Amino acid sequence: MTELASDFHAWLVERASALRHIIAECTVEVPDGEHLRIVTPKATANVNFYELDPGAPEIVELNIIPADDPDNPTFFLHFEMDDIGHAQELFDQLVEALTQLTSRTTTRILLSCTSAMTTSFFARKLAEVGKTLSLDYEFEALPITNALEAAGNYDAIMLAPQVHMYRDQMVERHPSLVVFEIPGAVFGSYDAGTALRMLLNAMSENALAAKLEQSDTRIVRKMDNDRRILVISSVYGARDSLYSYRLYDHGKVVLEGRVEKPGRSYCDVKDILATVRLQGVCTSELDAIGLAMPGIVEGSTVRMVSLDMAATDFARLSEALGVPIFVDNNANAAAAGCYISQDGYESILLQRQPTGYGVGGQGLIVDGRLVRGAHGLAGELGYLFRMFGEETHQRLRKMAWTSEGMRKIVTAELMTSICTNSPEAIYVAVDLLPDMDELRADLAKYLPEGCVPELIAVCDYHERVLVGEYALCLSALRKAEAEQ
């Protein structure tokens, strides 16, 4: 074990010993210098050290195994033992997750409409889907007259379309709760899977929501699939981050997984690479690594101005690994994923708008070419709305919790792009807008007859990002080789 790893293990033992006074019924086990376990009645947290190459920095694994579901870790990540400060920060995240898990009670969700008869049936269907995903969730139904008073006893509120007008009143009485309206098309068809995905996204439980997405995006357009490429996508939630990774070997998926991390940091990419290395992937044998990230991407540099995150240039990581790293905005990657999975359109637009976000992002392909724009600003709609001030921004965020409000926001954003680029088709990755007919009717109010683009609902956004980033990596490799 390296000296740095030994120092970290010693720090772990000292830190973990204090947890007996913080976490109820907690015991700490240290079988040797390469393992540490924190055992509670509800879960066990593990710290394991792995030496892949003699003398090289160890890979450290952190995981939490629930006692009632040992096959599905609730916390799972790896990192290279080269920075003790980063290692200590990740261990503290592990402890925070363990503390929340041991003190967690059943999540209670309230559905409400006028009489609660219809929502009682819908609640049972939601409970069935939740059970399939091993969610400790309870769904109950109440008429709106009772729900306004009882909502404080629940963790989230789902309003049927018939009572959407009560949302502001519900938020005013219970400002700490997630409150949103179930779209009419979802409620009317009793589509519990879509409704639950929207709920999980609204509560920022992206990893669980991703399990409900489709994952069968076909690659229709011909590509030279003769490379070994690792792609990593990142999607930021309100408080956490979801990373998906996939290894393509000559077009075939040979490895994939997802990691949910508390907080948001660009150094998470190194931790994901450590996870992949521990599964037997030698990064030096890859032809390329593709990163699909939130934020402004200019060359190999990414920055998230709205989150005050310092700009990160992944060129240095590329030099350290000896592998080309190509970086793209995740909405651009999703647009590429939509483009290559069909062959009927040459100019398309991808609209991404998470629930509760007043401003979305776009990816644009014109005549088969991805439009990034100068400084990577193409599709960054947040800067367009800055000119209207903070008051407008707050109003948009409030609107983004209802299907009607979201439709107004997306209509305005799409009108801007339609009038400037006139795409043949628009792919809409917006949970609160599953009904394209309603959106089409709104756009038709402002456009000449017959000029509304084809609208296609996207419910597999993460899949589109991964497939699109793979295609962008292949293109970038061909371009780099042609320039040599």
Lowest mean pLDDT among 48-57, 287-296, 300-309, 470-479: 300-309
Residue intervals of the chain classified under CATH 3.40.50.2300 are 107-203
The band of 102, judged by pLDDT with boundaries at 50, 70 and 90, is confident
175-224 pLDDT, tens per residue? Answer: 888 998 999 889 989 999 999 999 988 887 777 787 777 666 778 888 87
Query: Which CATH fold would you assign to the domain 3-103?
Result: TATA-Binding Protein (3.30.310)
Q: Which conformational region is residue 6 in: left (phi greater than 0), alpha (psi within -120 to 50 degrees), or beta?
A: alpha
Q: What would the mean pLDDT of 230-236 be, rounded to a whole number?
A: 89
Q: What would the mean pLDDT of 436-456 be, rounded to a whole number?
A: 96
pLDDT for 126 equals: 94
The band of 392, judged by pLDDT with boundaries at 50, 70 and 90, is confident
pLDDT for 24 equals: 79
Residue intervals of the chain classified under CATH 3.30.420.40 are 228-327, 333-462
Looking at per-residue confidence, does 73 or 334 come out higher? 334
Predicted TM-score (pTM) of the model is 0.88
Calpha distance 423→180 (Å, rounded): 31
Lowest mean pLDDT among 46-60, 195-209, 218-232, 470-484: 195-209
CATH number of 228-327: 3.30.420.40
Residue 254 has, within 13 A of its CA and on its CB side, a CA count of: 14
Mention the CATH class of domain 107-203: alpha beta
3-state DSSP helix/strand/coil % of the chain, to nearest 5: 45, 25, 30
Backbone phi and psi for residue 407, each to the nearest 5 degrees, phi listed first: -65, -40
**Mean pLDDT (the chain, rounded):** 90
- Report helix, strand or coil for 147: helix
The band of 356, judged by pLDDT with boundaries at 50, 70 and 90, is confident
246-288 pLDDT, tens per residue? Answer: 999 999 999 999 888 777 777 889 999 999 999 989 988 999 9
CATH number of 333-462: 3.30.420.40
Lowest mean pLDDT among 62-76, 229-243, 338-352: 229-243
Residue 56 has, within 13 A of its CA and on its CB side, a CA count of: 10
The band of 31, judged by pLDDT with boundaries at 50, 70 and 90, is very high
Flag whether pLDDT at 359 surpasses 90. Answer: no
CA distances for 332 relative to 52, 250, 253, 274, 437, angstroms:
36, 23, 21, 26, 25
77-93 pLDDT, tens per residue? Answer: 999 999 999 999 999 99
